[in-house]
Amino acid sequence: MQLLTFMGRNARWLAGGFLLMFFSSFGQTFYIALSNGDIRREYDLSHGDFGLLYMVATLLSASTLPALGWLLDRYRAWMVAAATTVCLAAATTVMATAASLPLLFLALYFLRLFGQGMMTETAMTATGRWFAANRGRAMAVNAMGLHVGTGLFPLIFVVASATLGWRGTWFACAVALLVVALPIVVWTTIRERDRQSEAGPKPKTAVRDWTMGEVVRSPTFYLVSAAVLAPPFIGTTLLFHQVYLTELRDWPMEVFASGFVLMAVTTGIFAFVCGALIDRFSAVRLLPFFLVPLAIACFVVAQFTAIESIFVFMVCLGISQGFSSTLLGALWPELYGTRYLGSVRSITVAMMVLASAVGPGITGQLIDWDVSYPLQIGVMGLYCIGVSVAMVFIARRLLSPELEEFDSAEAAAPAAGGRRTMDRLDPQPREG
């Protein structure tokens, strides 16, 4: 009841974040990968060739993203959202009409930059600023947009491509973005929300506002990133090579695609579970646990071949996606504040995009070298377990009132006014 009341009072802003995440699906790996087989056949590319092309395009988009992050610190959210939607529509049009490898590469680059990159960053940054006491729940609603897209779009693409072809389906995406997404997204985000009027429990933690330069000099940032980057690396890899996985396991593609619905439902449930846990305990306290379901998903798909394994895998992956999408939206403002959140998130999103690029590229090359794909997935599961153990100690240090870890640059040159910058969470709860 409390969640429904919260959603009712804040429907406009929650809908804006939800829709931005929903339509970011067109630039997400799971959607692009649905054209994997057609693209490889039409352009005569191997798994490794297309994986490498995709990796380079994604790496380039990741390197571009920090140069655009400042836009969210300078301009209103609706302006950035509108421009991003138009650019994503242009990218889907290029994908639909690309007649050469250079144009295909350009399409992939813009899809990744404006879909997975800027549209996601706009949704998360705006929501992170608009909400404080209920940030976890707000991020869960945000994440639901992408999860609903993940559940709906694979089946829609399969049905649409049977009639329109894969190129015609990509052109239909451009029409949907301009005719449906653009006016609704502008309307829902054009009015800013004052989070100071927010009702609800006060945040468990508060922290000063970090600049992007301070964040990238912080050792803790990279330690936490070791966990944060696992879901985009592993999840992207699993979804990018989904066609190869189904061929390897002799699973019908239709059955595998239907599993996305189960994954989406599971993801939605656990996104809200995670949101409630964040609002009660904080995102930092959940760091040691959020990779465990992903590890189980990896072990299932690496070890079992029965068709029922699809649904076990999808449930575990859904739990992981639900936790990680909500957690990663709330974690950065909890650690580094909201004033420079656009710039800070541009770095974190760029790193996640980078991880999502490296995954398909490396695994695709290993597949070409006849390295067992199930073995690769099993190693990913072991990585999740190892990092989860490490996060137990990292989270304990971040939450320790006695911790005063100073960045070396800041310790050598204290901030103006003699104030030293601490790379820790303030243990005293107060509204940020």
Judged by phi (left if over 0) then psi (alpha if -120 to 50, else beta), residue 324 lies in alpha
Q: According to the model, what pLDDT value does residue 120 have?
A: 85
Q: Which two tokens stand for residue 20?
A: 């931005």
Q: Tell me the pLDDT tens digit for each residue of 111-131.
A: 999 998 888 888 878 887 777
Q: According to the model, what pLDDT value does residue 205 have?
A: 46
Burial of 428 (0-12, 13-18, 19+ CB in 10 A): exposed
Q: According to the model, what pLDDT value does residue 254 have?
A: 81
Residue 289: half-sphere exposure toward Cβ, Cα within 13 Å: 14
Q: According to the model, what pLDDT value does residue 206 have?
A: 53
Q: According to the model, what pLDDT value does residue 420 have?
A: 35
List all residues 6 or more positions away from 132 whose beta carbon is below 8 Å from its beta carbon.
195, 198, 203, 431, 432
Q: According to the model, what pLDDT value does residue 419 have?
A: 36
> In the 3-class helix/strand/coil scheme, how is the chain assigned residue by residue?
CHHHHHHHHCHHHHHHHHHHHHHHHHHCHHHHHHHHHHHHHHHCCCHHHHHHHHHHHHHHHHHHHHHHHCHHHHCCHHHHHHHHHHHHHHHHHHHHHCCCHHHHHHHHHHHHHHHHHHHHHHHHHHHHHHCCCCHHHHHHHHHHHHHHHHHHHHHHHHHHHHHHHHHHHHHHHHHHHHHHHHHHHHHHHCCCCCHHHCCCCCCCCECCCCCHHHHHCCHHHHHHHHHHCHHHHHHHHHHHCHHHHHHHHCCCHHHHHHHHHHHHHHHHHHHHHHHHHHHHHCHHHHCCCCCHHHHHHHHHHHHCCCCCHHHHHHHHHHHHHHHHHHHHHHHHHHHHCCCCHHHHHHHHHHHHHHHHHHHHHHHHHHHHCCCCHHHHHHHHHHHHHHHHHHHHHHHHHHHCCCCCCECHHHHHCCCHHHCCCECCCECCCCCC
Domains annotated on the chain, with CATH: 10-192+203-403 (1.20.1250.20)
Q: According to the model, what pLDDT value does residue 408 have?
A: 38
Q: Which residues of the chain have pLDDT under 50?
A: 197-198, 201-205, 402-432
| CA gap 101, 52 in Å, rounded | 12
| CA gap 196, 213 in Å, rounded | 27
| CA gap 7, 84 in Å, rounded | 25
